[in-house]
Amino acid sequence: MALLEERKKQIATVVGANQLELDCGKKSLAGSVSQRACVFCGSRVVLYPVTDALHLIHGPVGCAAYTWDIRGSLSSGPEINRLSFTTDLREKDVVFGGEPKLYSALCELIDAYKPEAAFVYSTCIVGVIGDDVDAICRRVSAEKGIDVLPVMSEGFNGTKKDGYKVACEALAKLVGTTDVAVPEFSINILGDFNLAGELWMLKDYYEKMGVNLVATITGDARIHQIRNAHKAKLNVVQCSGSMIHLAKHMKEVYGIPFIKVSYFGIEDMSDALYEVASFFKAPELMQKAQDLVREELKDLLPALAPYKKILQGKKAAIYVGGAFKAISLVKALRLIGISTVVVGSQTGNKEDYDLLKQLCDDGTIMVDDSNPVELSEFVKEKSADLFIGGVKERPIAHKLGLGFCDHNHERKEALAGYLGMLNFAKEVHATVMSPVWKFTKKGRK
Amino acid sequence: MLLRHTKKASESIERKGLTINPAKTCQPVGAMYAALGVHGCLPHSHGSQGCCSYHRTALTRHYKEPVMAATSSFTEGSSVFGGQANLLQGLSNIYSIYEPDIVAIHSTCLSETIGDDLGQIVGKARVEGQIPEGKHAVYAATPSYVGSHVTGFSNMVKGIIDYFAYKTEEVKKQLNILPGWVEPSDMREIKRMLKMMKVKYVMLPDTSDVLDEPMTGKFKMFPEGGTTIPQMASMGDSIKTIALGEWCSKDSAIHLENKCKVPFHIADMPIGIKATDRFVQVVAKAFRISVPDSLTKERGRLVDAIVDMQQYLFGKRVALFGDPDQCISLTEFLVDMGMKPVYIVSGTPGKAFEKRMASILDKKVPEAKYMNGERADLFLLHQWIKDEGVDLIIGNTYGKYIARDENIPFLRFGFPILDRIGHSYFPTVGYMGGLRLLEKMLSLIMDHEDATVAEEKFELVM
């Protein structure tokens, strides 16, 4: 396969102790069919699950159209976040400025819906035509008496990862704006977006342990919870790429420590509970956590066994948004007898890739910011049976005759927690063992 | 909760600057779709990385197929100094890694606003060798703040024609068919009809065998289908261009006439009986042939089915949203079946919309409301429906919220369809397409009746 010189450093094969450093955190090459997105996309996905806020997209219609109800982040209450609001900038606005339109759109929205707060997303051209989004937000905020938060997410201003940071900055402005007392063992969950109701499972686990959740940011989030988030004693951060900035900010300003966890797979899920228990140094919490894990595993392990038996020896390729998630996936797959032969991410950092290297078997291909041509070559080379990725990888995997599991926005079943592990095994089993593969050329061979 | 946020039109919220739940998207995705219908062509988005990612995602979700496109990956630097360096480097990378024959570049709101001139940059790339000998690069300006996704489609087709079509001494007895933004299945169906009529043609673009690829166990960056370079070149020598859809195809047809003196005829998209009749007639006339029996029989079967089922269709109130070319033909079809298209919205601007709708509806469905352009969005459509209900909603997947909220049967039609399959495989154009639309509408209306009617009225035979 033709590889550009510049790309070679972003691909490595795990070979014993002396491994090549993976060159990550780089901007994508111009002209690549990258699977990555932009700053706006990063901010939008992170803030989207704040269910009782207005989300107004200031820009041409596309940015709003493509992010209308984009992820299966479930709400237990308000759903105004699922509507698509935009200023639909036209040529005349680009020439004369979009501020009047933004002002009137914001006022119209706030009058109609009386939301708890509003996020205003700035898109590429807003940055270029010089609309003072900040000033409009301040003005409307003063006039209407609610928080109107600018999200400076011009698409070209970095990668999706930078968008996470911008979103965290907007959230940080809300944190600390109320002071309601909370119980002693109180935490915030950061970086779970309640896809397929996963957050509700976690909430249930923590509450069974006797731990109170102050704010969930941003899965099923409410503005008033975010305002009070600084009252928690600990931030439990998943998907560290997206929420780490907020966790660091809260540590700096409010002295709240954070731990990084993952909820995928038995080991990581259990660790996420134990670590919270040990943080509070309360034996009763640890006892309850251990009881909970024991109780869950009593049913789960026997339920997993038949899947492991069938799937033993199958090979998987993983290409996901962040490398931290990939680490959990490698472990979860191992639990059901599947080895990982290709692993990569759009936006992984050095730390995560180093961990992955320790974890993966020799010969595993590791790749940062890949493209479809590379991915399909690697998958063929390693004769994988299963691909785990997002929306753009699915049809490629299927065309190659591989089973596919969506571990991104399009997951339909909860994959986190103990039940999630079983769902994951079922989903992997269904796709890898589907009878349809016998009709494909690969199957006929 | 989801759509309880919509209020009746009669207690309308004041809207000057606000669009809610848009019935359109922006130009570049149309340009990308058009370019995918050219063989060996890689679409390229000249802008931020997100644009390309969003368009690929939308098309992937709609077709359940890999959609390949590259991006200039703008940075803060490019937004200040211009995107020329990104595009030059991008082109050079694309030709060496992915090896397309053609790169079809479209701009974005960002590159347009900072003033990048695609023509000048592509010219420079040709001189400096970023575009290798024997390879091609076409381009179209597609600012997201003008028109809609339909405009982007039209602009890209025009850009492709501008580059490839040329006139030689020899006149070719073939038609140029500009199908407009229809599905791969529709393009396949139009080709089938042309073959029945024994007419030679070049279709541009043609996404059949590109976005409906069979499962082979191989991933092909450039699938088999798509209009080829020799075909596109020969368009300048064709006897006539038949441009389907004023919004999708008119500009390209005019451009081809100006450039190569190929006369054109603008026809409606062949959806429904009358529009298909007109299409068939214009093809027959251009080629001086009579309509084959086999095609007349297909028409007869469609009319027969409508006759048989008219009692379930007559007077049914329909809300419709989508792109203007589709909406116009479909509205006419609905009226021809005795149905009442009472509400129609399209986010795509263009004055001809109102005129055409008026001519179809004013006499036959005087109560009809229609609107296009800014603020002609799904919020407005929902408000109208809340004021007075309908029996059927027709439109893309985003209509499902209204359908659920109001418990109204919903026919998925248009772009994007994110939650069902079928559009890639079963056409809605031509007489057979009409039959499919009819069958779908009837099933929806009758299933709804079966599910909701009082038990004593529940019928075995319908």
Per-residue pLDDT of A18-32, as tens digits, reads: 345 666 666 777 888
Q: Same domain, yes or no, for B284 and B329? A: no
End-to-end CA distance of chain B: give it in Å, rounded.
Answer: 36
Name which of A88, A95, A371, A441 to mutate to probe chain B: the one with the most chain B Cβ atoms within 10 A of its Cβ. Answer: A88
Name which of B3, B41, B52, B97 to mutate to probe chain A: the one with the most chain A Cβ atoms within 10 A of its Cβ. Answer: B97
Cβ within 8 Å of residue B166, ≥6 positions away: B233, B236, B259, B260
Q: How many CB pairs under 8 A join A and B?
A: 266
Contacts of B66 in chain A (CB under 8 A): 372, 392, 395-396, 399
Distance CA B189, CA A292 (A): 60
Name the DSSP class of A28. Answer: P
CA proximity to A258, closest of A234, A276, A277, A274: A234
Q: How many whole angstroms from its chain centre is CA B449?
A: 32
Q: Does any domain span residue B256?
A: yes
- Cβ separation of A36 and B143 shorter than 8 Å? no
Number of structural domains chain B divides into: 3
Q: Does B424 touch chain A (CB under 8 A)?
A: no
pLDDT at A361: 86
Rounded (10°) angle between helices A417-432 and A266-280: 170
Q: Same domain, yes or no, for B250 and B286? A: yes
Name which of A7, A58, A61 to mutate to probe chain B: the one with the most chain B Cβ atoms within 10 A of its Cβ. Answer: A61
- Cβ separation of A156 and B19 shorter than 8 Å? no
Residue range(s) occupied by CATH 3.40.50.1980 in chain A = 39-172, 186-291, 312-411
The vertex-A187 CA angle with A291 and A49, nearest 5°, equals 110
pLDDT at A441: 64
Q: Same domain, yes or no, for B55 and B146? A: yes
Q: Does B317 touch chain A (CB under 8 A)?
A: no
Least confident of A95-104, A303-312, A389-398: A389-398
- Cβ separation of B22 and A68 shorter than 8 Å? yes
What is the pLDDT averaged over residues A390-411? Answer: 87
Q: Same domain, yes or no, for B279 and B176? A: yes
pLDDT at B356: 98
Nearest to A392 among B25, B56, B219 (CB): B56
pLDDT at A14: 66
State the CATH architecture for A39-172: 3-Layer(aba) Sandwich (3.40)
Confidence tier at A17 by pLDDT (50, 70, 90)? very low
Q: Does any domain span residue B13?
A: no
Confidence tier at A6 by pLDDT (50, 70, 90)? low
Least confident of A339-353, B262-276, B299-313: A339-353
Q: Does any domain span residue B195?
A: yes
pLDDT at A198: 94
Q: Same domain, yes or no, for B228 and B269? A: yes
pLDDT at B1: 47
Q: Does any domain span residue B301?
A: no
Q: Which residue has the higher pLDDT, A442 or B402?
A: B402
Rounded (10°) angle between helices A240-254 and A160-174: 40
Q: Bridge partners of A217?
A: A190
Q: Same domain, yes or no, for B83 and B138? A: yes
Q: Same domain, yes or no, for B284 and B320? A: no
Distance from CA of B180 to the nearest CA of A (A): 21
pLDDT at A33: 82
Least confident of A31-35, A38-42, A420-424, B9-13: B9-13
Distance from CA of A114 to the nearest CA of B (A): 11
Q: Which residue has the higher pLDDT, B431 or B10?
A: B431
Q: Does any domain span residue B116?
A: yes
Q: Same domain, yes or no, for B35 and B131? A: yes
- Cβ separation of A34 and B347 shorter than 8 Å? no
pLDDT > 90: percent of chain B: 93
Contacts of B74 in chain A (CB under 8 A): 124, 155-156
Distance from CA of B232 to the nearest CA of A (A): 25
pLDDT > 70: percent of chain B: 99
pLDDT at A435: 94
Residue A1 has pLDDT above 60, yes or no: no
Distance from CA of B220 to the nearest CA of A (A): 9
Instruction: Find the CATH number of the domain harbouring B185.
Output: 3.40.50.1980
State the CATH architecture for A312-411: 3-Layer(aba) Sandwich (3.40)
Nearest to B78 among A31, A112, A156 (CB): A156
> What are the Cα distances from residue A246, in Å, to A74, A163, A172, A325, B198?
22, 13, 6, 19, 67
Distance from CA of B31 to the nearest CA of A (A): 13
Compute, in degrees rounded to 10, the torsion defined by CA atoms A68, A69, A75, A79: 40
| Half-sphere exposure of residue B201: CA atoms within 13 angstroms, side-chain side | 27
- Cβ separation of B19 and A64 shorter than 8 Å? yes
Distance CA B109, CA B115 (A): 10
Residue B321 has pLDDT above 70, yes or no: yes
Confidence tier at B55 by pLDDT (50, 70, 90)? very high
- Cβ separation of A398 and B215 shorter than 8 Å? yes
CA proximity to A32, closest of B279, B63, B281, B98: B98
Per the listing, tokens 């098309």 go with B59
Q: Does any domain span residue B354?
A: yes
Domain that holds residue B384: 308-456
- Cβ separation of A27 and B73 shorter than 8 Å? yes
pLDDT at A19: 46
Distance CA B406, CA B389 (A): 8
Nearest to B49 among A34, A79, A123 (CB): A34
3.30.1200.10, 2.40.30.10, 3.40.50.1980, 3.40.50.150: CATH of A186-291? 3.40.50.1980
Contacts of A90 in chain B (CB under 8 A): 145-146, 374
Nearest to B145 among A89, A392, A394 (CB): A89
pLDDT at A288: 97
Question: What average pLDDT does the structure give for chain B?
Answer: 96
Q: Does any domain span residue B461?
A: no
Nearest to A108 among B18, B58, B109 (CB): B18
Distance from CA of A55 to the nearest CA of B (A): 11
Q: Same domain, yes or no, for B314 and B452? A: yes
End-to-end CA distance of chain A: give it in Å, rounded.
Answer: 24
Name which of B56, B144, B397 to mutate to probe chain A: the one with the most chain A Cβ atoms within 10 A of its Cβ. Answer: B144
Name which of A114, A124, A402, A437 to mutate to probe chain B: the one with the most chain B Cβ atoms within 10 A of its Cβ. Answer: A124
Q: Same domain, yes or no, for B109 and B125? A: yes
pLDDT at A161: 87
Nearest to B110 among A111, A113, A128 (CB): A128
Nearest to B113 among A37, A125, A391 (CB): A125
Contacts of B372 in chain A (CB under 8 A): none
CA proximity to A68, closest of B65, B423, B401, B325: B401
Distance from CA of B214 to the nearest CA of A (A): 8
- Cβ separation of A395 and B65 shorter than 8 Å? yes
Model confidence pLDDT, tens digit, residues A78-117: 999 999 999 999 999 999 999 999 999 999 999 999 999 9
Model confidence pLDDT, tens digit, residues B380-405: 999 999 999 999 999 999 999 999 99
Question: In this structure, are residues A107 and A85 in contact, taking their beta carbons and an 8 Å threshold?
Answer: no
Confidence tier at A16 by pLDDT (50, 70, 90)? very low
Nearest to B217 among A62, A158, A442 (CB): A442
Q: Does any domain span residue B128?
A: yes
Q: Same domain, yes or no, for B317 and B444? A: yes
Listed residues B248, B266, B293: the one ending a domain: B293
Give the pair of three-digit tokens for residue B265: 């005829």
- Cβ separation of B1 and A78 shorter than 8 Å? yes
Q: Does B64 touch chain A (CB under 8 A)?
A: yes
Q: Same domain, yes or no, for B202 and B283? A: yes
**ipTM score of the complex?**
0.94
| Half-sphere exposure of residue B428: CA atoms within 13 angstroms, side-chain side | 23
- Cβ separation of A61 and B110 shorter than 8 Å? no
Listed residues B233, B263, B293: the one ending a domain: B293
